[in-house]
């Protein structure tokens, strides 16, 4: 069967004609999936890329965040949403028309008291509504462990809807998950090496999509490195241990990412010189959990840094410099 | 007889009367009713709250302080799927750091997935609780909640059209004081029957097609008249029929989950977008299809789930050509500023109605 087959059937028909389609070799399925490089991309990219590439699907991602993307997102999003969502919408906007499907997963929770911010509940439907006038199709998977949708089931379900077989999908998921676990281990190894550094150590507590964002978060790590500081990331940890630790600091905290960060902070606060709470304006969970950290942790200097996408780098740099000076002074290095 | 606990809970619309009934009849403890919220409550609450937290956190914190100052020795807090789930613990921490002494029964701590664990919370409030009594009182308090919602809903739909100014308000206040004083099922039923009769006897001057406005939005701010600066009263005073679906009976007692509400809004949202999202979207579409003149979407500053609903509401507004006024309440929102916007919205609706028919 030739590639022309795709010309006259829609993708919903694909599901119906699965058996016919399946006779085609994997590599001949010319589906292109677009993934915005924002929000959960940083946390899941190994899994997502691994999964689709194993299925023979071409994956394209948006470029790293730049001023243009952020400003486009700001125009399209509701004024009061958080900066990270605005950036996400900017990325989705850039992907419109460049791929068959844009993948926007709905990641709700990983179990009891392991919720994501409600923003992730809405993400898929939100984007569908913002870009309703565009013919772009979106694809999602629904990770909701409380209601019995685990990651494997959700992701393979998504592949099934595109016409892949069950065995193909499960195999791809397992392979990708293995890669994902491996990548996380490597990240943790790098992290542990940082603790051994002799420089002033600062634990940067923030969501991975803020810290890793090329436009808003990375300038901060760069600036800190320039000041001779070893930046230890709060978002990389042994997750099950961090979750246990977080219960010691705050038993009813309910957000997965915040619990990972808070647990990590609680465990390692004595191994660092200072703590920077990095969040975007107006992050819903951070507005409360950072307050809790400030109330409960009294023996480590804390800088509460909120990014709003408006301020130039200079203002932030000044604050970082003075904070690092205080730490060095306190540690007898100045 | 051991001394009774004095339990306090933040003010929330008129539901504190039902809670009082539940605590005094079911748990056989004392309920401490703090004064209604004022600007001072909000000021004191926001002084000790984090800046970017949603406004209900600040109002409820202020109201908790007022409860403690009114003599409560035990505070209780509910939880929810959004930031509300973390209110209790952070508020307790803030109050303790301020130096207040009290016991906290934070229901979020008992939300472990097993329903049995809530019994522990009940046992903490009163170790010798009579569960049969509690169940009966619970059912009666629920009944009272439904009556309060029914009366409130009827009140805002009609009070703007009364011929004798203030008659509706008087009847409603009488009803609320009856509910405050009610000690038995009989008294609750009586109070409800009386207010219904009084409402019925008030002569109305209502034309066939009055302006109808639907209120949708965030759970707490839409229901609590202090928090939304009495927007419903303001609209009613302009002779508008004000409808609001969102209340405790609809959202908590009779809410069948998102399942059946989602059928009619499948094209707009495939999944639940937040704790009250499906309900609000369904409600907005329902109002639009029923030919309402306008919608008002109410939320507190920074309420993430409601902000995420806004793009959907914008689409509904486009599809049905129905005007939507988006209001955000923070600690700075002033009465005058709100009035200007509401008046402009009202004028626009009126002109539109004249042109379109």
Note down pLDDT in tens along chain B; length 357 residues. 468 899 999 999 999 999 999 999 999 999 999 999 999 999 999 999 998 899 999 999 999 999 999 999 999 999 988 899 999 999 999 999 999 999 999 999 888 878 888 888 888 888 888 999 999 999 999 999 999 999 999 999 999 999 999 999 999 999 999 999 999 999 999 999 999 999 999 999 988 889 999 999 999 999 999 999 999 999 999 999 999 999 999 998 888 777 788 888 988 988 888 888 889 999 999 999 999 999 999 999 889 999 999 999 999 999 999 999 999 998 887 889 999 999 999 999 999 988 765
Nearest-angstrom CA–CA distance, B263 and B270 = 9
Helix (H) or strand (E) holding B135: helix B131-158
Cis geometry, peptide bond prior to residue B200 (ω within 30 degrees of 0): no
Show residues of chain A in contact with B110, CB under 8 Å: none
Whether the CB-CB separation of A106 and B254 falls below 8 Å is answered with: no
State whether residue A250 sits within 8 Å of chain B by CB: yes
Q: How close A125 comes to chain B (CA, Å)?
A: 5
- Element counts in chain A: helices (H) and strands (E): 14, 10
Chain B CB contacts of A78 under 8 Å are: 307, 310-311
DSSP B73: S
B313 touches A: beta carbon within 8 Å: no
Chain B positions in Cβ-Cβ contact with residue A39 (cut-off 8 Å):
none
Interface-testing mutation among B57, B81, B90, B104, with chain A (most A C-beta atoms within 10 A) = B90
pLDDT at A75 over 90: yes
Cβ separation of B83 and A284 shorter than 8 Å? yes
Closest residue in B to A133 (Cα–Cα)? B315
Contact A122 B274 (CB under 8 A): yes
Task: Judge whether B128 and B152 are in contact, CB under 8 Å.
Answer: no
Query: Which chain B residues have a beta carbon less than 8 Å from that of A285?
Result: 83, 86
Q: Is A122 on the interface with B (CB under 8 A)?
A: yes
The number of beta carbons lying within 10 Å of the beta carbon of residue A13 is 13
Helix (H, G, I), strand (E, B) or coil at A132: coil
Chain A interface includes B85 (CB < 8 A): yes
The alpha-carbon gap from B266 to the nearest alpha carbon of chain A, in Å, equals 10
Please indicate if any CB of chain A lies within 8 Å of the CB of B338.
Answer: no
Average pLDDT in the A84-103 region? 94
Q: Measured between CB atoms, which of B51, B89, B273 is closest to A126?
A: B273
> pLDDT at position A332, please?
79
- Contact with chain B for residue A105, Cβ under 8 A: no
Q: Is A76 within 8 Å of A93 (Cβ atoms)? A: yes
CA–CA separation, B101 and A231 (whole Å): 40
- Residues paired with residue A303 on neighbouring β-strands, in sequence order: A276
CA angle at B261 for the pair B258 and B265, rounded to the nearest 5°: 110
Tell me the Ramachandran region of residue B71: left when phi exceeds 0, alpha when psi lies from -120 to 50, beta otherwise: left
Q: Is B229 left (phi over 0), alpha (psi -120 to 50) or beta?
A: left
> Out of B85, B307, B312, whose CB is closest to A80?
B307
Q: Which chain B residue's Cα is nearest to A289? A: B90
Angle at A246 between CA A242 and CA A248, to 5 degrees: 125
Enumerate residues 263 to 282 of chain A having a beta carbon within 8 A of any beta carbon in chain B: 281-282
pTM: 0.90
Q: How many CB atoms neighbour CB A98 within 10 A? A: 12
Q: Residue B342 is encoded by which pair of tokens?
A: 């509401």
d(CA B94, CA B112): 24
Q: Which among B90, B274, B328 has the least Cβ separation from residue A292? A: B90
- Distances in Å between the alpha carbon of B61 and those of A174, A320, B57, B176? 48, 33, 6, 24
Q: Which of B169, B167, B170, B190 is nearest to B178 (CA)?
A: B190
A283 touches chain B (CB under 8 A): yes
> In angstroms, how far is CA B40 from the centroid of its own chain?
20
In our burial notation (b when 16+ CB lie closer than 10 A, e otherwise), range A47-82 reads bbbbbbbbbbbebebbeebeeebbebbbebbbebbb
- Is B271 in contact with A142 (Cβ distance < 8 A)? yes
Q: Could you tell me if A297 lies within 8 Å of chain B, comparing CB atoms?
A: no
Q: What is the DSSP letter of B35?
A: P
Residue A48 forms beta bridges with which residues? Answer: none
Residue in chain B nearest A116 by alpha carbon: B82
Say whether residue A291 is in contact with chain B using an 8 A CB cutoff: yes
Helix boundaries (H) for B208-334: 219-223, 231-237, 248, 258-261, 277-289, 304-320
Distance CA B230, CA B215 (A): 12
Sheet holding B6-8, edge to edge: B30-31, B6-8, B74-77, B103-106
Q: What is the mean pLDDT of residues A288-300?
A: 92
Determine the residue of chain A that is closest to B265 in CA distance. Answer: A125
What pLDDT, in 10s, does the model give residues A163-187?
888 998 999 999 999 999 999 999 9
Q: Quick one: DSSP state of residue A237?
A: S
Which of B86, B270, B301 lies at the smallest CB-CB distance from A253?
B86
Query: Helix (H, G, I), strand (E, B), or coil: what is residue A58?
Result: strand
Q: Do A118 and B88 make contact, defined as CB atoms within 8 angstroms?
A: no
Chain B residues within an 8 Å CB radius of A281: 52
């Amino acid at each position: 069967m030739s590639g022309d087959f795709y010309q006259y059937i829609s993708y919903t028909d694909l599901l119906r004609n699965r058996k016919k389609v399946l006779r085609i070799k994997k590599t001949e399925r010319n589906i292109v999936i677009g993934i915005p490089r924002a929000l959960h991309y940083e946390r899941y990219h190994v899994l997502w890329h691994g999964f689709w590439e194993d299925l023979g699907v071409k994956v394209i991602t948006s470029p790293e965040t730049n001023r243009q993307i952020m400003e486009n997102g700001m125009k399209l999003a509701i004024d009061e949403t958080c900066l990270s969502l605005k950036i996400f919408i900017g990325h989705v906007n850039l992907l419109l028309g460049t791929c068959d499907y844009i993948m926007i997963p709905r990641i709700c929770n990983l179990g009891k008291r392991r919720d994501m911010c409600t923003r992730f509940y809405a993400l898929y439907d939100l984007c569908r509504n913002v870009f309703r006038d565009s013919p772009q199709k979106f694809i999602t998977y629904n990770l909701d462990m409380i209601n019995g949708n685990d990651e494997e089931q959700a992701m393979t379900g998504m592949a099934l809807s595109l016409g892949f077989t069950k065995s193909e999908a499960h195999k791809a998921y397992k392979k990708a998950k293995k890669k994902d676990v491996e990548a996380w281990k490597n990240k943790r190894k790098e992290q542990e090496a940082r603790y051994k550094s002799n420089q002033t150590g600062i634990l940067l507590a923030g969501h991975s999509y803020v810290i890793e964002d090329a436009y808003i978060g990375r300038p901060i790590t760069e600036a800190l490195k320039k000041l001779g500081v070893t930046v230890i990331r709060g978002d990389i940890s042994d997750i099950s241990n961090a979750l246990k630790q977080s219960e010691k600091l705050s038993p009813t905290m309910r957000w997965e990412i915040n619990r990972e960060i808070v647990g990590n902070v609680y465990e390692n606060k004595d191994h660092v010189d200072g703590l920077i709470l990095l969040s975007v304006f107006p992050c819903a969970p951070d507005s409360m959990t950072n307050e809790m950290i400030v109330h409960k942790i009294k023996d480590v200097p804390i800088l509460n840094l909120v990014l709003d996408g408006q301020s130039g780098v200079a203002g932030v740099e000044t604050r970082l410099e003075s904070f690092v000076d205080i730490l060095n002074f306190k540690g007898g290095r100045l | 007889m051991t001394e009774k606990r004095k339990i306090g809970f933040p003010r929330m619309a008129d539901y504190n009367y039902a809670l009082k009934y539940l605590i005094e009849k079911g748990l056989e403890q004392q309920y401490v009713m703090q004064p209604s919220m004022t600007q001072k409550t909000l000021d004191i609450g926001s002084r000790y709250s984090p800046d970017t937290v949603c406004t209900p956190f600040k109002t409820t914190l202020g109201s908790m302080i007022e409860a403690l100052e009114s003599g409560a020795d035990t505070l209780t807090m509910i939880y929810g799927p959004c930031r509300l789930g973390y209110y209790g613990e952070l508020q307790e921490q803030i109050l303790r750091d301020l130096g207040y002494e009290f016991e906290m029964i934070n229901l979020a701590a008992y939300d472990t997935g097993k329903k049995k664990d809530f019994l522990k919370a009940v046992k903490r409030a009163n170790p010798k609780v009579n569960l049969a009594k509690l169940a009966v009182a619970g059912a009666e308090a629920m009944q009272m909640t439904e009556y309060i919602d029914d009366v409130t809903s009827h009140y805002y739909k009609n009070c703007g059209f009364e011929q004798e100014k203030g008659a509706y308000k008087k009847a409603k206040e009488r009803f609320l004081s009856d509910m405050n004083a009610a000690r038995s099922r009989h008294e609750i039923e009586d109070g409800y029957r009386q207010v219904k009769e009084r409402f019925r006897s008030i002569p109305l001057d209502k034309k066939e097609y009055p302006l109808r406005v639907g209120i949708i939005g965030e759970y707490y701010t839409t229901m609590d008249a202090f928090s939304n600066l009495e927007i419903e009263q303001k609209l009613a005073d302009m002779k508008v029929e004000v409808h609001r679906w969102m209340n405790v009976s609809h959202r908590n007692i009779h809410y069948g989950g998102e399942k059946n509400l989602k059928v009619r809004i499948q094209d707009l949202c495939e999944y639940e977008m937040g704790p009250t999202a499906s309900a609000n979207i369904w409600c907005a579409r329902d109002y639009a299809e029923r030919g309402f003149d306008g919608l008002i979407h109410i939320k507190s500053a920074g309420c993430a789930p409601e902000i995420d609903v806004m793009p959907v509401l914008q689409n509904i507004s486009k599809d049905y050509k129905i005007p939507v006024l988006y209001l955000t309440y923070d600690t700075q929102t002033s009465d005058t500023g709100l009035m200007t916007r509401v008046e402009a919205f009202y004028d626009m609706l009126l002109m539109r109605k004249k042109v379109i028919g």
